[in-house]
Amino acid sequence: MDIKALTAGVSVSPQITPEEIQSIKDYGFRSIICNRPDGEGADQPSFEEVSAAAAKLGLEARYIPIISGKVSDDDAQAFDKALSELPGPTLAYCRSGTRSATLWSLAKADALSVADILAATKSAGYDMGGVVRRIVNGGKTPTDRADASYDVVIIGAGAAGIAAASSLRSRKPDLNIAIIDPADIHYYQPGWTMVGGGIFDAPDTAKTMGSLIPRGVHWIKAAVAAFEPQDNAVILDGCRVVKYERLIVCPGLKLDWNRVEGLVETLGKNGVTSNYRYDLAPYTWELVQQMNEGRAIFTQPPMPIKCAGAPQKAMYLSGDAWFRRGVLKDIDIQFNNAGGVLFGVKDYVPALEKYVEKYDATLNFFHNLVAVDGAAKKAWFDVSKPDTPVERIEMEFDMMHVCPPQVAPDFIRVSPLADDAGWVDVDQATLRHKTYDNVWSLGDVMNAPNAKTAAAARIQAPIVAENLIADIDGRAPVAQYNGYGSCPLTVERGKIILAEFGYGGTILPSFPKIFIDGTKPSRAAWFLKEKMLPPIYWKAMLRGREWMARPEKVTAN
């Protein structure tokens, strides 16, 4: 037997035999549903044989036979009715388990989210891509007609999505492009560290989405439920279908606050804050201003995360503020990092370590935040040092800045576009999907081994635009991504270590060393971060003006 659990109460399996009923009972099942018609296979026991063996052992059995590939809406309703009437847990079976998993998916479409259904079936080894549109439609069979169709559909209207749309429009204005995103507000997220340091005001990091969508680009204000890449279709919430010739996927990533027990309940109060949220960054600065003594913990979760330097930027700016007020000697700074190094590119570490020393911060590596009790001002960390058993420790705090665990969005992780880790699976040079030739991805959601930063998206957008248009023209990819990312590490008010690097930690400076030496703190880099990068973001990157971002051609055509 190969039993796969979908939920605590429902499992599925391939064909079972009467001789296996005792083992099924021993597993704790109280009922069985047969979804395989009698006589489908020569060596197949009949339902009557299975049912008789089940009855002898006190298990209930029900027969809902389904012809392979022909699961009707009525079948799904009958399956749901059976689950509600039979004692659980229930084991459903067919030849391979696929029909049973399909019936469960359609039966629970009104009760569970699409992502939850696809995640459960994918974990059990069953691909529900063929019925995803029906799942989105509440388990009912929708029409196959597309509600809209475009040359290019872009998923996500963040930095990557709008920049890609603008880069495409600047190259080929006649393209029929749509951006799909449900958000009303677009945020300049790199500015939130500065908000938490008392330098920027939060409202200056936000603009209405409608004001930023490029002229001539259709904005579909909706959430994506699922993908059908084999049919060039995107399924929206409500089962609307958008068809495309080419697809660009860049919805960003998901901040998984719920992965840390107790964190959601205490965010924004009890001294617990995060610069990773627009509404919380001002609270960070409020806490820094109020704090005169005690312990301040700054956390960093396992990689990957967006802007890997942001957790320590919060520490440096806070330490600088306390240093300037003369209270640093009374504050115990703890930097608890789930990883084993201060920064992933070693060239920048010596300069950063000098600031760790200046602020008398304690570096605690392999410390991963797992739980918080805000009211009690306590946090728990799993310490996972190499070749050592995991140890859970408790730390008290007066202030704690949290960087949350981060994963790909649910609708990406369960989609055919994702790799085993849940990220969109692309060629790291061309940013084209490895399986679907008319799909590209950029920004935080794809799996190339680069830093997840807005600076990376700024470089990636024109590369995707060049390669997509080359594909329209019937040519091979013409632009190549070298993994460039930039992380301006704000080590004190007025000075920044400008980390710029590509694949493999290769240093990729944008400026001559005489102007900015990225391995050392400089005022020029601070000026770039404070004064130049925001207008470059709003007025150049999002408008298709590729200042210092035009891709190099890699082939002659």
Could you please report the per-residue DSSP string of 520-555?
S-BHHHHHIIIIIHHHHHHHTGGGT--TTTPPPB-S
Measure CA 282 to chain center: 25
532 is written with which tokens?
Answer: 């130049």
Grouping H, G, I as helix, E, B as strand and the rest as coil, residue 324 is helix
| Contact between 527 and 150 (Cβ < 8 Å) | no
Cα separation, 405 vs 493, in Å, equals 27
Cα separation, 467 vs 86, in Å, equals 55
Contacts 24+ apart (CB under 8 A), 66-70: 66/35, 66/36, 66/37, 66/94, 66/99, 66/103, 67/37, 68/40, 68/95, 68/99
User: What amino acid occupies position 78?
Assistant: A
Instruction: Please list the alpha-helical segments (H only) found in 124-202.
Output: 132-136, 159-171, 192-196
Instruction: Please state the φ and ψ torsions of residue 506, each to the nearest 5 degrees.
Output: -65, 130
Cα separation, 271 vs 488, in Å, equals 26
Task: Give the catalytic positions in this structure.
Answer: 307, 487
268 is written with which tokens?
Answer: 């924004």
The answer for residues whose C-beta is within 8 angstroms of residue 420's C-beta and 6 or more apart is none
User: What amino acid occupies position 401?
Assistant: H
| Contact between 50 and 16 (Cβ < 8 Å) | yes
Cα separation, 555 vs 480, in Å, equals 10
User: What amino acid occupies position 523?
Assistant: R
Cα separation, 46 vs 18, in Å, equals 9
